[in-house]
Amino acid sequence: MLAGPPPTYISPTLPSTMPTSSPQMYTNQFRPPIMPPNSQPSYYPPHSSQTSMATNGINRPPIQNSYLNSGLLPPSSQSDASSPMANPNPQVYGSQSSFPNYQPSPNSQPTMYPPNVHPTPIRPPSVHYPNYPGQPLPTGSVQPQLPQARIDTDSLPSVIQILEQSQEKIQAPFVTSTPGSLPPLVGTNFVCQDQGSCNPRLMRSTTYTIPNTADMIKQSHVPIALSISPLANLRTDELEPPLTNFGDIGPVRCQRCKAYMCSFMQFIDGGKRFVCCFCEATTDVANEYFNHLDHTGRRTDWYQRPELCLGSYEVAATKQYCKDEKWPEPPAFIFMIDVSYNSVRSGLVNYICHILKTDLLDYLPKDKNAETSTVRVGFATFDKQVHFYNIRGASSMMFLCAFDSLGQPQMMVVSDLEEIFVPLLDGFLCSPQNSRGVINSLLDQIPKTFANSQETETVLAPAIDAGIQALKGANCGGKIYVFSTTLPIAVAPGKLANRDDKKLLGTEKESTLLSPVNNIYTKLGEECAQNGCAVDLFVFPNAYYDLATIGEVCRVSGGEIYKFNFFSIENDGERLLDDLRRNFQRTIGFDALMRVRTSTGIRPIDFLGNFYMTNATEMVFGAIDADKSVSVELKHDDKLSTDSNTYIQVALLYTSISGQRRLRILTLALTVTSAYTSFYPACDLDAIMNYTTKVAVRSVLNSTPKSIRSSIITQAAHMLACYRKNCAQGSAAGQLILPDTLKLLPVYSSSLVKCDALTGTVTLNTDDRSWLMHRLMSMDVKGTSAYLYPRIYPLHTLEEDHITPSMIRCSYDRLSDTGAYVIENGLVMYIWLGSQLDPTFVQYVFGLQAASQIQPEKCRVAQFDNPLSKNVRGLLNMIRDERNSHMKLFVIQQRDSMEPFFKNYLVEDKNLTRGASYIDFVYELHREIRNILQ
Ligand SMILES: [Zn+2]
């Protein structure tokens, strides 16, 4: 029997440590970015291991120049900056790796792959999937006829080999001073020094040398797009965008195109005017902002002003940037808890109230440097009705006098759900500091009040609507946390019916099932976005929930969906708590507006992600946080000059968690070329795959699985064919030629066409599919990279003090019967135990006498005082630290009933839905390329 339900995806999270452990994340030290005149470039010692790079790899500058303290250090004291020439070769990352059986071409050193030189006959697929109850394998899909030759998989480009080779080449921080520099691969461990363009963790481009004409892009099929994570977490040894303030004059902008001041604006006329790098218009400098230029034409306050020397900075907004020109109120959090029968019986109501009271409310977010959180909270419950609670408490002084405070919370029931209103505008949202006694009392009472609930029907839209009205009434933005267990079938606006029909998945009709059935939740999302709030939906379904429809409220508002199938506290309690902690603690902005400006000649034309748009250029977010990313495609309006750079500027206007209105400005400089030989080496495959994945996921709703698959393959084939035609003409016809930067295009594309978001018919139910599509649409580049190629580490060979072992390729043949491995893709994690594994492993790591005692969902890595246990926990913690969500862990054994789910993540093999193996895909791709070239 299948042990428990099919693996479920989980939602985001942080390490299992609480926020207090990461205050350094918010340090905001300002370091002068470029090597000042007369100083020696600092020496960055080579780093041989990832650990040393992560902890102590960087020479800290002898003097930390805190911008906010306005340390006007003379240039000569700033010795930390490395030379702008430290990385003169932008292709150094991920380039020039060589593979067995590959021959470099004489011209541009592409990789050639001769499919016909290995005479070994093709074997039948080596991976065999056992059947398992209840989930018959799909039939009818046909494998393409393969050529009668087989290539050794070792000769195909390996993600792991390329990552390791790239890592070895990273000897110094990635410095952003040179336009057109290709950043290191997203899967490597590197430090960035912002010296003009922004950190690639905030924005990556699919290419750093942009073609000068639209025709070049059309020929190459390489999309020109940006992946923007404007509030991304940076490393603790990187510079957070410093907050600056221009006083009453507000942010300095180009008078014509409204671009914000950045390091690429050119001051002229002795500093009286500046020339815009985007539109070339000249703007007068306000008296308040004037500064003299030095002999090189640079402002003398260049080092002291982040907007003049950095690629990312923040600036305090003036009232003009606020709604109705009024300063915003600090955001509030509303908790909406389902108290129907299912919710009570699973222990959920009790658990949520318990963790809010004992843990979460003590860690409400605040701006860095703020002493206490200003977030107000409100509580409501719902089943067929919506219940509000008055939590107005006394001040701490008054609290002793019980009669002066509402010692007990009051409940108010709203039963007219057609025209929802909030019965208590005063007393619904309160500060936990002032009302903690009442809140604690409320959180004790809610589980008791509904303990015997027999109500199985719930409403949902009225509850969310009530939250929006409450925030509107309090004149603030915020978050509405909804904890919901069942499809809302009670008679009320937003009532839904079960329309699940799983057999449609994978067919041409799946788009109807995966599209919303009506626009009620979409409209609610729009209302949220317009009022500066977002809905985070925590769903705990035991049956169909219609996330395709309900999830719209999260998609449009910029919220998030967390999904816990068949919730039990024992299996999922820790994950829920971790996800909520991370949700509270990550950097977040409310009532946000984002706009992308570009140099004349190109412009943004397409926007992908979870947000709302009311016009063709501005993305509106009820809330946006560190884990959210959007993609923006650029298009040529005109031919670009190859003599000058092209600039991109992202401006995010938002309200911080303590209610400060701010702008975050990110700028990126790209070079321009008319030659494919310069264009291909500047391509960023990680960003290309992030964009391609989002385009594919979006098209699920208006296309068919077959045409999505074929468009991914055609695009990849065109990218390689164009390279072949323009950069490697001398090569033999039978060879597959891969440019250095696109070596992994075949393996990533092969994984994408068969990934569960696009083809999940066996492993996912309808709601899981909707959930996964929602997640991918806001996923950052690092996330899609791990999703497309999961990481596998051996656990049985972990050595003390060296907990990062080499990764293993994603293929079953690479796993040993005597080994134990962990695999993760950022969303889910498996530990796989080989059938011949030494039994002491199970004892030392899980504390079980035999592997037969393992229950896949319940099994936990126990805390034992032995080296193996410590090393395994160390590695798992390291993996979790890097991911945005608390990955649900399954412990499985070789050949047990859950192994097929695990095998689905071995992306180099043929998968459950019979998606082609890496090798077979390479054949198909190569055939496609030859067709194009003929
Ligand atoms: Zn301009």
Residue 38, pLDDT above cutoff 70: no
Q: How far is the CA of 279 from the centre of ligand 1 (A)?
A: 4
Confidence of residue 419 (pLDDT cuts 50, 70, 90): confident
pLDDT score at 821: 97
pLDDT score at 848: 94
Confidence of residue 370 (pLDDT cuts 50, 70, 90): confident
Q: How far is the CA of 283 from the centre of ligand 1 (A)?
A: 8
Residue 870, pLDDT above cutoff 70: yes
CB half-sphere exposure, 13, CA atoms < 13 A: 25
Q: How far is the CA of 221 from the centre of ligand 1 (A)?
A: 30
Looking at 56-60, 445-449, 527-531, 550-554, which range is the least confident one? Answer: 56-60
Name the 3-class secondary structure at 126: coil
Q: How far is the CA of 453 from the centre of ligand 1 (A)?
A: 62
Residue 828, pLDDT above cutoff 80: yes
Confidence of residue 91 (pLDDT cuts 50, 70, 90): very low
In this structure, are residues 293 and 68 in contact, taking their beta carbons and an 8 Å threshold? Answer: no
DSSP secondary structure letter of residue 737:
E
CA distance 502 to 516: 15
- What are the structure tokens assigned to 138, written together? 């799909």
Q: How far is the CA of 176 from the centre of ligand 1 (A)?
A: 22
Confidence of residue 762 (pLDDT cuts 50, 70, 90): confident
- What are the structure tokens assigned to 665, written together? 């400005």
CA distance 33 to 38: 15
> SS in 3 state form for 433-484?
HHHHHHHHHHHHHHHHHCCCCCCCCCCCHHHHHHHHHHHHHCCCCEEEEEEE
Confidence of residue 730 (pLDDT cuts 50, 70, 90): confident
Q: How far is the CA of 669 from the centre of ligand 1 (A)?
A: 15
CA distance 893 to 902: 10
**Where on the phi/psi map is residue 479: left (φ > 0), alpha (ψ -120 to 50), or beta?**
beta
How big is the chain, counted in residues?
934
Q: What is the mean pLDDT of the chain?
A: 84
pLDDT score at 48: 33
- What are the structure tokens assigned to 782, written together? 């690092």
Q: Is the dihedral of CA 552, 555, 556, 559 positive or negative?
A: positive
Which CATH number does 790-903 carry? 3.40.20.10
Per the DSSP assignment, residues forming a β-bridge with 530 are none
pLDDT score at 396: 36
Confidence of residue 547 (pLDDT cuts 50, 70, 90): very high
Confidence of residue 399 (pLDDT cuts 50, 70, 90): very low
Residue 673, pLDDT above cutoff 60: yes
Residues 6+ away with beta carbon under 8 Å from 518 = 549
Q: How far is the CA of 639 from the centre of ligand 1 (A)?
A: 18
- What are the structure tokens assigned to 582, written together? 């991370």
pLDDT score at 801: 66
CA angle 644, 647, 652 (to 5 degrees): 170
| Ranges of each domain in the chain | 790-903
Name the 3-class secondary structure at 765: coil
CA angle 886, 890, 893 (to 5 degrees): 155
Helix, strand, coil % over all residues of the chain, rounded to 5: 30, 20, 50
**Where on the phi/psi map is residue 134: left (φ > 0), alpha (ψ -120 to 50), or beta?**
left
Q: How far is the CA of 853 from the centre of ligand 1 (A)?
A: 67
Top mean-pLDDT range of 71-75, 515-519, 727-731: 515-519
Q: How far is the CA of 839 from the centre of ligand 1 (A)?
A: 68
Q: State the average pLDDT over residues 219-242.
A: 97
Closest CA to 339 of 388, 393, 390: 388
In this structure, are residues 182 and 91 in contact, taking their beta carbons and an 8 Å threshold? Answer: yes
Q: How far is the CA of 600 from the centre of ligand 1 (A)?
A: 9
Q: How far is the CA of 259 from the centre of ligand 1 (A)?
A: 5
User: How far from 847 is each of 707, 837, 839, CA to CA, in Å?
Assistant: 49, 15, 11
Q: How far is the CA of 169 from the centre of ligand 1 (A)?
A: 38
More confident call, 480 vs 760: 480
In this structure, are residues 308 and 299 in contact, taking their beta carbons and an 8 Å threshold? Answer: yes
Q: How far is the CA of 622 from the centre of ligand 1 (A)?
A: 28
Closest CA to 173 of 199, 203, 149: 199
**Residue type present at position 556:** V
CA distance 451 to 347: 10
Q: How far is the CA of 203 from the centre of ligand 1 (A)?
A: 21
**Residue type present at position 815:** L
Which ranges of 294-431 does DSSP label H, i.e. alpha helix? Answer: 306-309, 341-345, 348-358
Q: How far is the CA of 281 from the centre of ligand 1 (A)?
A: 5
pLDDT tens figures, 715-725: 999 999 999 99
Q: What percent of the chain lies above the pLDDT cut of 90? A: 74
Confidence of residue 912 (pLDDT cuts 50, 70, 90): confident
Q: How far is the CA of 179 from the centre of ligand 1 (A)?
A: 19
> Edge-to-edge, what's the strand order for the sheet holding 820-824?
791-794, 820-824, 828-833, 888-893
Q: State the average pLDDT over residues 571-581.
A: 96
| Residue 87 φ/ψ, nearest 5 degrees | -130, 70
Q: State the average pLDDT over residues 812-838.
A: 96
- What are the structure tokens assigned to 583, written together? 């949700």
Q: How far is the CA of 530 from the centre of ligand 1 (A)?
A: 28
pLDDT score at 107: 38
Residue 246, pLDDT above cutoff 90: yes
Looking at 113-127, 311-325, 446-460, which range is the least confident one? Answer: 113-127
Q: How far is the CA of 182 from the centre of ligand 1 (A)?
A: 26
CA distance 135 to 346: 26
Q: How far is the CA of 625 from the centre of ligand 1 (A)?
A: 29
pLDDT score at 128: 27
